[in-house]
A and B are shown apart, each in its own frame.
Chain A
Amino acid sequence: MDQSRIRNFSIIAHIDHGKSTLADRVLELTEALSQRQMREQVLDTMDLERERGITIKAQAVRVPWKGHQLNLIDTPGHVDFTYEVSRSLQACEGALLVVDAAQGVEAQTLANAYLALENELEIVPVVNKIDLPQADPGGAAAAIAEVLGEDPARVLRISAKTGEGVPEVLDALIERLPAPAGDADAPPRALIFDSSYDQYRGVVAFIRVVDGTLESRQALRAMALGTTFEAEEIGFMSPERRPVERLTAGEVGYVITGLKDVSRLRVGDTITAARAGAAEPLPGYKDVKPMVFAGLFPTDSDAYPELRDALERLKLNDAALFYEPETSQALGFGFRCGFLGLLHMEIVRERLEREFDLDLLVTAPNVAYRVLERNGDWLEVHSPADFPNEADEVEEPYIKASIIVPKEFVGAVMELNNERRGSFDHLEYLSEERVLLVYELPLAEIVLDYYDQLKSRTRGYASFDYDLIGFRPGELVRVDILVAGDPVDALSLVIHRESAQARGRALVERLKDEIPRQFFDVAIQAAIGSRVIARETVKAKRKDVLAKCYGGDITRKRKLLERQKAGKRRMKQLGAVELPQEAFLAVLNIGDGGKK
């Protein structure tokens, strides 16, 4: 198709502001789907996405409108997938920025808007949900116009739910968005903005052709990783796969590669012809690295092979997921897994439990640390267990956090950020009522219970987003927890020196409440190296007898003891101490920030 009649766009929005509903209306209106076929939110294919209302994997759909080809590229809606969002945006010339007429501008709205502006996209602002009784379309339009430096009159007002104003949105895309401007005659270059795994056909790459033409059966090469493969099938989504012979400059579609390993074709890479290909890849490829780590262990140690298989299968669809085997004295065999962020971790955990029916123990999450070794090399550490007792220099990842709150909560948010080693960057009034606070914080302070604290201290009004801004030096120490003299590896944590004492004490006290009394005194200690910073004792039981046992109740007493023994068999070992499963889980949960 002639590039002048193509428009490529994304929809960006804060969670629940109606992105998926708008996508549905667009498909319906352009008859890509008949109404009978229409399922709500067809772009989100995974159950989990549908349920949580989060779009996890981006996809692309081609729709016709008034003689033009519109390609809607769906983007993941959350901060953990910022890189994927940025690749999706790079595949577009413009974006619809959707704001809820009742909620107004939120932290993610801003983050996504800035991301779109950085990618030099033409932004078409849209106020959605104007049908809601509590809607304030004028206020929302003014706020969004302010952010974009745009005339409020050009902000479209729609209801994706009723369909009101949606045709005008499509018209605006054709009018306001520039057409693609690639070189149709140059060697082909196509940006991979997403990929998925088809168990019969291997890796499917979603691409935007920037220059030249890609053809079916053509030998292709991914430029950053050097992976070569044949285009087994080329096509576009409508919304099912529609094979075509070729995709030309400006078009969006898919390539079926037959590759059996998603890690060989990474988002952000450039596809070109294997022979006489382009000399330079498209800019912006980045190797995304997991920043949040946690140990995943099967509750039942026999389920280890199932967990391994499940992770292998998830990894096929999720190149950002990292895992390696880990052995814990307390928890047995499992995996240390790396995630882009907390949501990514939650999603992986839920998919493992739900789709693979696994019962998991998850250790408290930690971040990636960089430790300077004696030989002068920097070592990246993913587990507190690997963190050295004494290190001269340690670095931890920092983030820039954007928090939007009604102005009466500014004090509460500042207080929270100060407790979390945050440093104030700036503050901005977005409107009379709403304030944007920007802070720099160690990521480690976020991974525990920051969201919960933020929510509870702002009565749920805060919205929050963050960007990683790199590693910085930190005064970090490893705190070990010893039960009856044995360190419990699963409970070790890396923490800022100043918080070590308080956290160690809190952990030890909670453990004291959770560990049932044993036949002997159990010392519970928190220690940095060999220095004990907190100690409690669970006193030994003094009596544990069945008061009476005569001829009439031998069976009952025997069954009682047999049940007790069966219970013991299911117990988990914490050093020399046996714990019932429930207490063990509670002990592990202590790790997640001491929620009280």
Chain B
Amino acid sequence: MSGVRHLYVHLPFCAHRCGYCDFVTLVGGDRELHARYVDALLAELELERGLLDDELETVFLGGGTPTFMAPGELARLLAALPPAGEVTVEANPETVTPELARLLSRNGVNRVSIGAQSFHMPLLDVLERRAGPEDVRRAFHHLRDAGLDNLSLDLLYGIPGQSPSDLERDLEEALALGPEHLSCYELEAKPGTRFAHTHGDELARQSEAMEGYFERVVAVLTAAGYRWYETANFCRRPELAGGRDLRARHNLGYWLGHDYLGLGIGAVSTVAGRRWRNAPKLAAYLGASAQGERPAREVEPLDEIVRGRERLLLGLRLDEPVPLAGIESALDPVALARLERLGLAERVEAGLTLTERGRFLGGGVTAELLA
């Protein structure tokens, strides 16, 4: 059996917790704590190394804010991780200095995902983001100057108070930088977040006015030469990028149902029909590591039916058909027939795919398709 080829590393530290965030994050921490955390990550890596393939396809450092880490510790971690074809780090604009950009580049990072979110100050304030539009542009140029030729920008839309022209301007500003990749998410007020508490009602009120924003995002970006390859992700088309396939290979691994190993607090792994999630507690994680033990984990076995469903729900996010071989039992044939009649889903030679309208309704359509 071939080993796991995708590695995720969770770096939970942030300067500040944004109101809308529902990830596992920790505010602050000094170099000493960061050092102990990196030790623990590397110890967990050693414990699980047997699961990994000799050659990794991707490594992804997510957070939190990976670039908030003490630079020495970040460099130590990067140097110690196994090499891979794509190594991505998430970065907050205000943390990207020329030094940091060079540090990443020197340590094998070849892709950076920048959390821009918006270029409009009042909206950034609503999101409680620290970086301004200038920080985004500066960070982008620093990374370019350090030789990184695969940069992604994260944008949010549907922010309370965001007008249609605000949206157009955000897209324009992002495109002006010429990123290889864009992730565009509709802002959700996730239950329990501070943001939902403050802005939930306002979002609900605006939802009708903003329901065309998603269509607009797709229209603008595809017109600008980007491929809408996943529900929320866009990459420059190969013919406009010297033939490069600029899809995020790490995330593509998730969407294609590949196994992956996750290290760090709250990190999830899925390997050979088994999924586990490390407990999201820093002290316990460090403690277990000091004892030479695996961190506490919540384990979820995935039977064949569940795996089939996941293949379907992940695969249908992509612009390429999901092969149906082996997962027919996950599919509700009556629902499929109805959705085909409605022009939302299509069976093609290679499997099942959603039509363009079907992709805009992908959540509901996929739910219906599940057996």
Contact = CB atoms under 8 A, between A and B. Distances in A.
Given A545-B360, A555-B300, A557-B313, A562 B344 contact: no
A549 B315 CA distance: 11
Contacts of B33: none
Interface string B87-107: 000000000000000000000
Given A549-B314, A550-B251, A558-B313, A543 B361 contact: yes
Given A542-B360, A545-B360, A557-B313, A519 B365 contact: yes
Chain B CB within 10 A, most for which of A544, A545, A549: A545
B313 A545 contact: no
A561 B309 CA distance: 10
Interface in B335-371: 339, 342, 344, 359-368, 370
21 contacts: A519-B339, A519-B342, A519-B361, A541-B361, A545-B359, A545-B362, A547-B185, A547-B232, A549-B231, A551-B8, A551-B262, A551-B268, A552-B23, A557-B313, A558-B309, A561-B313, A562-B370, A564-B364, A564-B367, A565-B367, A568-B368
Interface in A102-142: none
Interface stretch (B78-86, B165-173, B211-219): B211-219
A554 B255 CA distance: 10
Contact of B364 (A544, A549, A551, A554): A544
A539 B361 CA distance: 14
Given A519-B364, A561-B366, A564-B367, A547 B186 contact: yes
B275 interface: yes
Contacts of B140: none
B254 interface: yes
Interface in A524-555: 541-555
B14 interface: no
B214 A550 contact: no
Contacts of A519: 339, 342, 344, 361, 364-365
B268 to A, nearest CB: 5
Interface string B254-280: 110000101000111010000101000
A552 B212 CA distance: 29
B317 interface: yes
Given A551-B268, A565-B367, A565-B368, A558 B254 contact: no
A520 interface: yes
Contact of B363 (A555, A561, A562): A561
B206 to A, nearest CB: 14
Nearest to A578: B368
Which of B6, B277, B314, B359 has most chain A Cβ within 10 Å? B314
A565 B367 CA distance: 5
Contacts of A549: 231, 254-255, 313-314, 317
A557 B316 CA distance: 13
A561 B232 CA distance: 18
B306 interface: yes
Interface string B238-256: 0000000000000100110
Nearest to B254: A551
Interface string A554-596: 1101100110110010000000000000000000000000000
A550 B366 CA distance: 16
B44 interface: no
A571 to B, nearest CB: 11
B180 interface: no
A517 to B, nearest CB: 10
B211 A543 contact: yes
Contacts of B255: 549
Nearest to A541: B361
